[in-house]
Structure 1
Amino acid sequence: MLDDASSPTPQAVTVAGSTAAHRLQPLLHDLVSTVLAPTVALSGGDGQIRPAGVQGVFHADSRALSQATLTIDGREPEAVGHAPQGPGATRFVTLARWLGDPVPDPTVRIERFRQVVPGGMEERVEIVSSATVPVTAVVSLEVGCDFAPIEVVKSGGDTAEAAPERTAPGEISWRSGGVRVAVTGTGARAEATEPTEVTGSAESTGYGRTGFLRWPVELAPRGRVTLSWRVEVRDPQAVVTAPDRPAEWAVGEGEPRVVTTDHRLGRLFEQSMDDLRSLRLAETAAPGDAFLGAGVPWFLTLFGRDSIWAARMLLPLGTELAMGTLRVLARRQGTKIDPGSGEAPGKIMHELRRHDFAVEGNNLYLPAAYYGTIDATPLWIGLLHDAWRWGAPAGEIAALLPHLEAALGWLGGPADPDGDGFVEYVDTSGRGLANQGWKDSGDALRFHDGRRAQPPIALVEVQGYAHQAARQGADLLEAFGLPGAARWREHAAALAERFRARFWVDGPRGRFPALALDRDKRPVDALTSNIGHLLGTGLLTAAEEARIADLLVSPEMAGGFGLRTMSADAGGFSPLSYHCGSIWAHDTAIVVAGLARAGFATHAATLAEGLLAAGETFGYRLPELYGGDDRAALGRPVPYPAACRPQAWSAAAAVTVVHAALGLYPDVPGGRLLLRPLAGAPLGAVSVRGLRVAGAEVSAAVDRGGEVVVTGLPAGISTERAST
């Protein structure tokens, strides 16, 4: 998800030998994120928030603090380590080696315990001395605020420090429009600098003003002192807020826990649950309906596709998040034709911002409520169906059936503008997203020889989503006594026939579905991960699924740490391309789930093991994406430098892998739970508590022999072992 400010392109940088300058998106991979949505702090590994790149404290798409640097007697402490401490919390450890005893070992240590809360951040600074002599110093915190919109930061646009509104005892504050930011230090003296011109830096923007909090500190031998400060943001313009209740899976003794013979899966699950709790959001006007913000920092808001996929992947933990996500998107379902926003009757939106999203130096212009997505609508139908199967309350499902009928109406009408029977897109505004599937960068869709495909585009996975949505929509209509089920089953059958005739192509390893059809209805013949999303949609025969399964674990596709977005032998392949050779955790997990349900246990385990290996190298916080280099190249994945982290569907990937290992597939309306664990338990023994079926807390375990045991099912649900 790139918003087509595609390449990691924030500072103005002059290219050698050129008179032109281009802006570079700030790098993220080495920053530390501390988040409790809708607020996030991004800093260096030492805890310092420096006035550069994307560092800062952000709240609801706007930067509240652009600087928070700590010094002791004018010198910055030296970093030695940091670690997450749960949702919204990080601890940083630094040293002041110039203080204390003149011995090789450090004797003055500084720990910053950072806690982000919705609308602010609190920090406790502990200075601990093991020296034999007293230590006297002045601790200073320099703070700045620029109110920079997230899209300006993302594109490398110019920003300028705002002047403090006022300085009161222990407090420095700023105001812009209706937004107010205040920094307060307990027991500190507050000062503001005078405006001075900033020179000698490529990042300079002219003038700036910062403020200081200062604390004189005296430590006795082997003494300690604790300082504290906080930032508070009052933002009545924010369109997102924190939900008004905790996550369904995070309440009481039912909080999910995983015990495995592969410690990597357990640790990945634990960190992912913390990250998922920290990414929960709600609309300001409806705090009771939670959804997941897509990712930190660029996409910490409602994204149709991303929020739907993440909620779908988390259904084993309960249906509350799914129902909240469905309701939020239903309230903003399209009602009219608007080429500028991409809105159409029945269509599910792509993203929600506090204002229009315009990128400096780029033709991209997205309205605050933007509908430029081809897949969110069928995916919304799929989430509604799956939530029903997992036991969401029938009344809540019934309340959304008018929106289901509207979404099906879009699927059978505006989704196919030229009437050829395939779902396709084109940006008629000329200023929206050129590509509108999940691979939405401008260069994502390429033929095998590397040529770019031209719109209108009919994506391969979207035909699978549409086929599945038509069938699942029919099931819902029939179950709730509404007309139209036969029509949508016929629609699905006709789509499958057309797909088989038009999409399959020949490649070096045999036949496979093309990535897309281009504007001339030619198959875009690159081998990509997109075809893995067809598994389980009903669009393929068993033999076709087996063919695709083998291709997905070929060395060209699975030679890295997970599933490559594009085959390594394709002309457009690049391991650090956003969508043409990189590896996305959610993409790999979706394919793992499809392989597992179709009975391809070894294939699923091959891709899942890649995710576990990657998770270990990233501290068990999987980023949005990473490089698709061969495993032998470095022995660890190469970070994608501008990847979001944490990111909702990447964190949800851990739940998907656990679910695939267990193989629990409920049909609560039908009164059964199908058991299809990975044959042979290739991921080892897995035991999970805190799953939920129809609201009941359920435990499940699969042993090394692949036998699964489920306890806690609600009355009326029987288990059934799937045939192999």
Structure 2
Amino acid sequence: MSAGRLLVNSGTFAAMTAHGDIHGTRGTATDGLFARDARHLSRWLLTAADATPDPLSTPAPATLPTPPPLLNAPIPATPANVSAPAAPPTPLTLLTSSGDGCVLTPAGTRDHPPAYTVFRRQAVAEGALTERIRLVSNSGEPIVVELELHVDADFADQFELRADHRAYDKPGARRTAHDTPDGVAFHYRRGETWSSRTTVTAAPPPHRTRPADDSTGTGRVLTWRLALPAHGTADLRLTALAVPHGTGEPTPPGSPDTVRKQLEADTGEFVGARPRPRDLTSWEELARACEQGLADLARLRVPISGPGGEALRVPAAGVPWFLGLFGRDSLLTSLFALPYRPALAADTLLALAAVQGTRNDPARLEQPGRIVHEVRHGELAHFRQVPYGRYYGSVDATPLFLVLLEAHATATGDPGTARRLEPHARAAVEWMFRDGGLGGHGGHSGRGYLRYTSDAAGGGLVNQNWKDSADAIRFSDGTLAEGALAVCEVQGYAYDALVRTARLARTVWDDPRWADFLEEEAASLRDRFRRDFWMPGHAFPALALDGEDRRVDTLASDAGHLLWSGILAPEEERAVGLRLLRPDFFSGFGIRTLASGQVPYHPLSYHRGSIWPHDNAVIVLGLARCGLTEQADTLAHGLVRAAAGHGWRLPEVMAGYGRDEHPDPVPYPHSSSPQAWAAATPLALLTALREAPAGRGEDYASPKTSQTSNSWPETGL
């Protein structure tokens, strides 16, 4: 995402420059107004032409970048009954920019300062961008200012905009634009089954509208001539309403100030609810990271319907590419936040139950009982040009669903959600044995592991654990693992899911026989896992078993998740916990996904040497569970140090360089931020350290421990 401003609210987001502009870029610097996986504004560029008789120099025309044309989409001819431009546009100079606004001026000098100043305020609401432009005269004489807004909507699917330069055929696609009395309306159709639109309105209406001088065929330039009294003001209000396919017209959002106040109230209610992290620790830096994380989680919540059509708000995975329901991400995020904001967990469980697999559909890997990996609403998913409309390519979302279900009942003391979702839990367990591989060849009794095979031939994911990049699972010599892979951390999740579901069966569902069965299967899984995965020469578990049951012998952070799930023996847990804090794993900011020095290690790869905060959060919880409090404290301090280096907002992923190589955390070039499970990571640290020993310095004060016995919430973790 380009440097600038990012506005997020209720499943809609706008990425723009510090000036408040949108240029229609692609790749890692993609900008625009996005709703339901489509870009509804690809150009939103404000320029000015000073129409006063001031004889100062005339600036050169601004150069507008040309957005790429829509693939295979014939564009009708532009109407001819529009006026010609009166004067070349003048670029505006940025004086300052904040989260939702900026201050601009036309060109000026010390002796001839700008005649006026432009104050832009912008906000995003569900399906809408709203903007107020206020011109303030700096002159003692009346002046007239001509403003131009270059606007366009390319309706590009997010998958088209990524940096991999993929192209998709779009037979029968057409984009049109037509002028309205108070703005312009953009329409997009593809065949008879897909349509979406964006409407732009202005008050006051533009004085004239003309086609933009670009290659899209739909771009428009709206022009206003605004009279400014001496030292007076003039206002221009703009609204862009996005109407994605299958949705209704959104409610006009009101002014940016109105939307901002509503959003601040909503965020403040979420952040300020009890229990408040600041009341639970005297570690100021951790408290700040928790508060930033809660604020990000509040704004990453997206509206989704539950099994009965009820309105829910679940944590989306992150922006820009993942503002929607993602099984694994939403589940782990909700687990981290569970002791503090349990409503996230309840809504996530219900939302995932609503889209749980019910049939066999190989094109999207759906199977009965399987928990979804991600849900998309874009054009390419609709036409099945990508499999992600409702894609089930996740080997770990199903056991994590069961883990969260029991954890929520424990943490809240309310078994209501567990009772309601009993059929969904039973279907999830059945999937693990029947289709997931836990039942081996028999399908119903434990002899196997949860496994996955590559879905690359179907356009889906090669790897279906959390390290889902295509090259993530390698042997220590760099060879890619192939076949039906059993990744180590997933077996731990499965073990934990069986143990926790047995607890629900015994205490909530009144089914002791099934509870006995699940406990027996969990014990069997634990025994064979320690036999098949443990590498005595390394005193460490293998990353995975490949399709021929060979141990993938790379030393990876996945092993730390086993400390959390409890599948290892105590002496093995201690060996793993101590090993993860050695310098080849621990960078000073976090534990690397792979220990350095191995052939596959790369500090700038996505999953082979980078540092993921959420990965570390699970490890910290595991270290605390195993009583390795010194190691948990060391790792937590590194992560909080990293948060401080990122303005208290942990990113999705960081480069794997250590503090001995650079004193500050090195950013990963393509990291998403904010991202939900990174935002929730400080909350997991707070949970893990509730009984940690005193801190080690003035810069990082220790957590409170005196309150834990009475005021600390039940975690369920």
TM-score (norm 1): 0.81
Q: 82, 91, 99: which one pairs with 1:76?
A: 91
Stretch of structure 1 that moved more, 93-102 or 475-484: 93-102
Shift of 1:572: 1.0
Counterpart in the other structure of 1:692: none
Counterpart in the other structure of 1:179: 196
Shift of 1:35: 0.6
Question: What per-residue deviation string (whole Å, max 9, x for no partner) do you get for residues 295-347 of structure 1?
Answer: 11211111111111111111122322211111121122223333222122221
Q: Rate the CA distance shift 1:679–1:555 in 2: closer, same or farther, 3 A.
A: same
Task: State the distance in 1 between where 2:697 and 2:554 align.
Answer: 31
Q: Rate the CA distance shift 1:35–1:251 in 2: closer, same or farther, 3 A.
A: closer
Question: What letter corresponds to residue 46 of structure 2 in structure 1?
Answer: L
**8 Å contact from structure 2 (residues 463, 470) kept in 1:** yes
Q: Rate the CA distance shift 1:491–1:553 in 2: closer, same or farther, 3 A.
A: same
**8 Å contact from structure 2 (residues 127, 243) kept in 1:** yes
Q: Rate the CA distance shift 1:241–1:618 in 2: closer, same or farther, 3 A.
A: farther
Matches within 5 A, 1:58-73: 58-73=34-49
Question: What letter corresponds to residue 62 of structure 1 in structure 2?
Answer: A
Structure label with greater radius of gyration: 2
Shift of 1:209: 2.7
Matches within 5 A, 1:164-313: 165-177=177-189, 178-189=195-206, 191-194=208-211, 198=215, 207-219=216-228, 223-235=232-244, 237=246, 250=270, 254=274, 256=276, 258=278, 262-283=283-304, 286-313=309-336
RMSD over aligned CA atoms reads 3.5
Shift of 1:390: 0.8
Question: What per-residue deviation string (whole Å, max 9, x for no partner) do you get for residues 219-278 of structure 1?
Answer: 566555443212112235259999x99689629864846266554333322222221111
Matches within 5 A, 1:120-131: 120-128=128-136
Question: What letter corresponds to residue 308 of structure 1 in structure 2?
Answer: L
Counterpart in the other structure of 1:36: 9
Correspondence 1:151 to 2:159: yes
Task: State the distance in 2 between where 1:414 and 1:239 align.
Answer: 39
Stretches of structure 1 that go unaligned for 5 or more consecutive residues are 1-27, 85-89, 199-206, 664-676, 688-700, 720-724
SS in 2 for 1:430: helix
Q: 427, 430, 443: which one pairs with 2:457?
A: 430
Task: State the distance in 2 between where 1:614 and 1:107 align.
Answer: 45
Counterpart in the other structure of 2:623: 595
SS in 2 for 1:557: coil
**8 Å contact from structure 2 (residues 267, 299) kept in 1:** no
Counterpart in the other structure of 1:337: 360
Aligned-pair identity in percent equals: 33
Matches within 5 A, 1:612-623: 612-623=640-651
Counterpart in the other structure of 1:671: none
Correspondence 1:406 to 2:427: yes
Question: What letter corresponds to residue 498 of structure 2 in structure 1?
Answer: A
Matches within 5 A, 1:579-658: 579-658=607-686
Task: State the distance in 2 between where 1:614 and 1:434 align.
Answer: 31
**8 Å contact from structure 2 (residues 243, 250) kept in 1:** no
Q: 674, 693, 696: which one pairs with 1:679?
A: 693
Task: State the distance in 2 between where 1:516 and 1:190 align.
Answer: 66
Shift of 1:145: 0.2
Task: State the distance in 1 between where 2:698 and 2:504 align.
Answer: 37
Shift of 1:157: 4.8
Task: State the distance in 1 between where 2:206 and 2:134 align.
Answer: 18
Q: 566, 588, 603: which one pairs with 1:575?
A: 603
Q: Rate the CA distance shift 1:106–1:630 in 2: closer, same or farther, 3 A.
A: farther
Correspondence 1:137 to 2:113: no
SS in 2 for 1:121: strand
Task: State the distance in 2 between where 1:145 and 1:512 align.
Answer: 53
Matches within 5 A, 1:657-668: 657-661=685-689, 663=690
The structure in which a higher percent of residues are strand is 1
Q: Rate the CA distance shift 1:165–1:461 in 2: closer, same or farther, 3 A.
A: same
Q: Rate the CA distance shift 1:83–1:659 in 2: closer, same or farther, 3 A.
A: farther
Question: What per-residue deviation string (whole Å, max 9, x for no partner) do you get for residues 530-561 of structure 1?
Answer: 11111131211222111111122211111152
Q: 467, 473, 489: which one pairs with 2:519?
A: 489
Matches within 5 A, 1:673-712: 677-681=691-695, 702-703=703-704, 706-709=705-708
Q: Rate the CA distance shift 1:491–1:637 in 2: closer, same or farther, 3 A.
A: same
Q: Rate the CA distance shift 1:394–1:163 in 2: closer, same or farther, 3 A.
A: closer
TM-score (norm 2): 0.81
Stretch of structure 1 that moved more, 305-314 or 288-297: 288-297
Question: What letter corresponds to residue 250 of structure 1 in structure 2?
Answer: F
Counterpart in the other structure of 1:667: none
Counterpart in the other structure of 1:441: 469
**8 Å contact from structure 1 (residues 564, 628) kept in 2:** yes
Q: Rate the CA distance shift 1:239–1:357 in 2: closer, same or farther, 3 A.
A: farther
**8 Å contact from structure 1 (residues 60, 239) kept in 2:** no
Q: Rate the CA distance shift 1:711–1:125 in 2: closer, same or farther, 3 A.
A: farther
SS in 2 for 1:455: coil
What number of residue pairs does the alignment pair up? Answer: 641
**8 Å contact from structure 2 (residues 185, 200) kept in 1:** yes
Question: What letter corresponds to residue 646 of structure 2 in structure 1?
Answer: F
Shift of 1:97: 5.7
Task: State the distance in 1 between where 2:417 and 2:658 align.
Answer: 47
Shift of 1:189: 0.7
**8 Å contact from structure 1 (residues 560, 629) kept in 2:** no
Q: 514, 518, 524: which one pairs with 2:552?
A: 524
Question: What per-residue deviation string (whole Å, max 9, x for no partner) do you get for residues 107-138 of structure 1?
Answer: 86544322110110112234456667766532
**8 Å contact from structure 2 (residues 396, 493) kept in 1:** yes
Q: 106, 119, 124: which one pairs with 2:127?
A: 119
Q: 372, 388, 393: which one pairs with 2:393?
A: 372
Task: State the distance in 2 between where 1:180 and 1:512 align.
Answer: 55
Question: What letter corresponds to residue 208 of structure 1 in structure 2?
Answer: G
Q: Rate the CA distance shift 1:582–1:636 in 2: closer, same or farther, 3 A.
A: same
Task: State the distance in 1 between where 2:177 and 2:434 align.
Answer: 54
Task: State the distance in 2 between where 1:368 and 1:224 align.
Answer: 48
SS in 2 for 1:621: coil
Matches within 5 A, 1:469-548: 469-480=497-508, 481-482=510-511, 483-505=513-535, 510-548=538-576
Counterpart in the other structure of 2:18: 45
Task: State the distance in 2 between where 1:391 and 1:257 align.
Answer: 17
Task: State the distance in 2 between where 1:548 and 1:68 align.
Answer: 53
Question: What per-residue deviation string (whole Å, max 9, x for no partner) do you get for residues 392-445 of structure 1?
Answer: 532322111121111111222221175452111113672121110011110011
Shift of 1:646: 1.4
Stretch of structure 1 that moved more, 223-232 or 320-329: 223-232
**8 Å contact from structure 2 (residues 577, 628) kept in 1:** yes
SS in 1 for 2:559: helix
SS in 2 for 1:273: helix
Question: What letter corresponds to residue 224 of structure 2 in structure 1?
Answer: W
Q: Rate the CA distance shift 1:685–1:475 in 2: closer, same or farther, 3 A.
A: farther
Shift of 1:61: 0.7
Question: What letter corresponds to residue 78 of structure 1 in structure 2?
Answer: T
Q: Rate the CA distance shift 1:355–1:126 in 2: closer, same or farther, 3 A.
A: closer
Task: State the distance in 1 between where 2:672 and 2:574 align.
Answer: 33
Stretch of structure 1 that moved more, 606-615 or 158-167: 158-167
Shift of 1:365: 3.7
Q: Rate the CA distance shift 1:630–1:131 in 2: closer, same or farther, 3 A.
A: farther
